[in-house]
Amino acid sequence: MRDRLADAMVSEAAFEGWSRAALQAVSRQLELPAGEGDRLFPDGAIGVLTYASERADQRTVEDMEKEGVANLKIRDRIKSAVRIRLERHAGNREGARRALALLSLPFNAPLAMRLLYRTVDAMWYAAGDTSTDFNFYTKRATLAGVYSSTLLYWLNDRSPGSEATWGFLDRRIDDVMKIEKLKSQVKSWTGGSVRTASRR
């Protein structure tokens, strides 16, 4: 039932925003008993948004596994991840735009950062990232930049099949690959990060 309510909310949010009014409207549409919407999501609309975002992350991971991205090059795995997330699991553009408006309020900053982090962490996980050193953070930070800018681009993209967005994504992924290249260059010395320095 949380899934159904979240799905309905994603559609309704295009009109009413991620608001209490929208949550009440979809609860009525689904003919839920009075108070059931509040019971399912005690944090209200922001709780539904959190749930919907994490479910979209999970579905993106499942789709990536289903489509065997493990056989692709890293650059294409990440490209697939962002495209799957936006094309299949971000809902309609207006609902997504309303979600960003809510997440842009200063008191929602910690949640916004957390959701963005979880999204890119899920993508790197499904892409088979196994880094255990500081590159772990560099990759996630870089992808957060790529994903969030691609998301903004997509919101306003009117091209057929959002082709302009995928072209934009392709250019942004170049940045991720620079990091990958850097990583392979520096592997030797990050491996030495825990060695004992001799006193000079």
Nearer to a copy of itself (CB atom), residue 50 or residue 148: 148
Proportion of the chain in helix, strand, coil states, percent, rounded to 5: 80, 0, 20
Give burial (CB, 10 Å; 0-12/13-18/19+) of 123: buried
Is 125 a binding residue for a copy of itself by CB under 8 A? The answer is no
Is 144 a binding residue for a copy of itself by CB under 8 A? The answer is yes
Q: Minimum distance from CB of 196 to a copy of itself (Å)?
A: 8
Q: Minimum distance from CB of 81 to a copy of itself (Å)?
A: 16
Q: Quick one: residue 128, left, alpha or beta (phi over 0 = left, psi -120 to 50 = alpha)?
A: left
Is 88 a binding residue for a copy of itself by CB under 8 A? The answer is no
Q: Give CA–CA dist 113/110, Å, rounded.
A: 5
* Window 159-188: residues binding a copy of itself (CB under 8 A): 171-172, 175, 178-179, 182, 186
Per CB under 8 A, the segment of 51-59, 75-83, 132-140, 159-167 that binds a copy of itself is 132-140
Q: Give CA–CA dist 95/49, Å, rounded.
A: 10
**Residues within the interface to a copy of itself (CB under 8 A):** 14-15, 17, 94, 97-98, 100-101, 103-104, 112-113, 116-117, 132-138, 141-145, 148-149, 151-153, 155-156, 171-172, 175, 178-179, 182, 186, 189-190, 193-194, 196-197, 199
